[in-house]
Amino acid sequence: METRTWQGLPCLIGGLPGKILEATGADACYAFGRLVFRSKETWNDKHTRHHELAHHKQAQADPLFSLKYLLESALNGYEGNAYEVDADAYADAALRRCRKRSRSSASRRSRRRR
């Protein structure tokens, strides 16, 4: 198992936690204040990382997050779970911001070259 820190959060990659995730069919999860990734491949997926970061923020914002998350899943399934929809929207927005930043720094670099 590899450990890293990202966005100030401890991250576990692979190892036994990864095998447990693999058995459940999940790529990653947020658990006990940590982001857990099935493998290096899922760690390298920026959308997955930001998605799990969103779950951390959801948990920080609401002490009943875990309970409400389970209730949402029971009522609406994984795909319809409002926390999952929100985490995907957060990750989509984060990646858009990253792409926008890299485009604007590329354009700054090209302006400098002229």
> Minimum CB separation from Zn ion for residue 84, in Å?
5
Three-class SS state of 38? coil
Q: Give the residue with the Cβ less far from Zn ion, 14 or 59.
A: 59
Which range, of 5-13, 62-70, 81-89, 95-103, touches Zn ion by CB under 5 A?
81-89
Contacting residue, 12, 21, 36, 87, with Zn ion by CB under 5 A: 87
Find, among 9, 106, 5, 112, the residue nearest to 55 by Cα: 9
- What span, in angstroms and rounded, lies between the C-alpha atoms of 83 and 28? 15
Question: Does 54 engage in binding with Zn ion (CB under 5 A)?
Answer: no
CA atoms within 13 A on the CB side of 30: 22
Residues contributing to the site for Zn ion (CB under 5 A): 84, 87
